[in-house]
Structure 1
Amino acid sequence: MKQTTALKIATGVAAAALGGIFLYSRATRPPVINPKVPEPAKPVELARYLGKWFELARHENRFQKGLNSVTAEYTLEPDGRILVDNAGSHDHKYSFVEGHAIVVDEATNAKLKVAFFGPLYTGDYWVLDHGDDYDWSIVGEPSGRYLWVLHREPKPSRAVVEALFKRVEALGYDRWALRITQQR
């Protein structure tokens, strides 16, 4: 009888903890800045997408809060997954996280699932649009809560940045909701 009661209590505590984590994650998500996220504009050639990207702007989120000098580097792994190395800094402290992505839409290669911290956190990663020369990329996901504007250079010209923000707007996002990422 005591073991059954202890098991019920342990199960209840575990369920409450998981429920609390779920509610926290839902409560700390950024607001929607695009209620009608478009499908990716064109296919992605993974070999050309791989490499280092510099974040120009993002919709601020809890896992990147306050980060600057943000980079993302994508490398093809032997098993076909993509290694994702994200780095940045805040108050002179370096931040680094590693993840793994898989293509979930093999017809276009534009939709991926990325997992950080093992299988505990997975998220959608949609390449909504990119330059023909793979010099820029706009990345989002289907909820319209997250958006990143990436470039191969840390500080492209003002004209290039303005053209990217116009493209962000054309995709249905509020460009003024984005946080500009300071790059060195």
Structure 2
Amino acid sequence: MPKNKYESQCVMNKNITDMKAAIKNTVREVDIPRYMGVWHEIARYENHFEKDMVNVTATYTLQPDGSIKVENAGYRNGVFKKATGRAKQPDPQQPGKLKVSFFLWFYSDYYILELDQENYGYVLVGSSTDKYLWILSREKQLPEDIKEQLLSIAAHRGYDTTKLIFN
């Protein structure tokens, strides 16, 4: 039995995701300088590098060489944790597909699936696999209608929104 309306929305969307793999189309335009700054994690799929973390933020800083410094931070059991990495945009023809590395030359996909093009206030991020999904916002809380819109978009793209952990 769903505990709140987010869980209800997620359960409703579950039937959609059972029938197809996630659709990985990314946004066609990303103004990288506007994308820089602090993003607050609203929800995520569980993953080993953020296990049990709360109050998670991602801070992106454009570097002189065109790469992006990535600082992910949050709290695990009351202890502040931070990881620093680097991102790059390998193909300017696909601006929504980035690569992120936190260890040497091992890069993971960072796909910008949906972006508030007007204000750069929220984003839905995934990868080339169905293992990762994030909802990020410039603010610590996202308006209910936007949150529901992003959940619906994720579900229609084939993501199982019942697996999201809300921060």
- TM-score norm. by structure 2 comes to 0.83
Given the alignment, which residue of 104, 108, 112 partners 1:127? Answer: 112
Gaps of 5+ in 2: 1-17
1:106 corresponds to: 92
Gaps of 5+ in 1: 1-32
**Which letter does structure 1 place at the counterpart of 2:158?**
G
2:44–2:134 CA contact under 8 A, matched in 1: yes
Aligned residues between the structures: 149
Q: Distance in 1 between matches of 2:127 and 2:91?
A: 13
**Which letter does structure 2 place at the counterpart of 1:80?**
G
**Which letter does structure 1 place at the counterpart of 2:41?**
E
Q: Distance in 2 between matches of 1:168 and 1:64?
A: 20
Q: Distance in 2 between matches of 1:37 and 1:95?
A: 32
Q: CA deviation at 1:38?
A: 2.1
Instruction: Please give the root-mean-square deviation of Cα atoms over the aligned residues, in Å.
Output: 1.8
2:30 corresponds to: 44
Q: Deviations over 1:82-117 (max 9, x none)?
A: 000100101111110000011022113211111102
Q: Deviations over 1:54-78 (max 9, x none)?
A: 0100010111101110000100001
Q: CA deviation at 1:168?
A: 1.5
Q: CA deviation at 1:79?
A: 1.1
- TM-score norm. by structure 1 comes to 0.76
Please say which structure displays the higher CA radius of gyration: 1
2:124 corresponds to: 138
1:37–1:141 CA contact under 8 A, matched in 2: no
2:63 corresponds to: 77
Q: Distance in 1 between matches of 2:23 and 2:142?
A: 26
**Which letter does structure 2 place at the counterpart of 1:124?**
D
1:42–1:129 CA contact under 8 A, matched in 2: no
What's the secondary structure of 1:63's corresponding residue?
Answer: helix
% identity of equivalent residues:
36
The structure whose residues are more often strand, as a share, is 2
Relative contact order: is structure 1 or structure 2 higher (C-alpha 8 Å, sep ≥ 6)?
A: 2
1:37–1:142 CA contact under 8 A, matched in 2: no
